[in-house]
Amino acid sequence: MRHKPAILSFKSKQSGSMLVTGLFIIVFMAVLLAGILRTINVGGINTAYEVVGTRALLAAQTGLEVGLSRLYPLNSQNSATCTAVKASPNPISLPNINAFKSCSVTLNCETRVDVNNNKDLFVITAKSKCNHSELSTSRKLEIEAIEL
């Protein structure tokens, strides 16, 4: 009587297990790849929002500078008033270059009377909005100024 070796009977019980293992590895790698691609895509969108947001911030800072130059013009002896800040053009026309393309800035000014030693305090607010394809961001900055 002849017995089958133990190795041959052990191999016959494992037939087809490599197919299942290979399929599992392929599915696992596909899910991992999909997750990595999603992370890269979200990172790209976040970067785009950050760039457009920085453009909006720079546009608002430019608006504040324009507002201050209207409030305190060079070589002028006139007292400062908010009407000069709100003067046209409002919204401010920014140059149509890459940094300010599709951006607009609106200025507002508020006077607080007799704040410091009978001097008025001026609060200039610049609101900017920048668009790029489907992205849109806005920023609002304020600055306070007082006559010396």
CA 121 to chain centre: 31
Phi-psi category of residue 125: left, alpha or beta, with phi > 0 → left and psi -120 to 50 → alpha = beta
Q: pLDDT per residue over 68-90, tens digit each?
A: 988 888 887 777 788 888 777 77
Phi, psi torsion values for 89, nearest 5 degrees? -80, 130
Q: Which of 1-5, 7-11, 34-38, 112-116 has the highest mean pLDDT?
A: 34-38
Residue 87 tokens read as 């003067």
Q: Has this prediction a pTM greater than 0.85?
A: no
The amino acid present at 85, given as its one-letter code, is: V
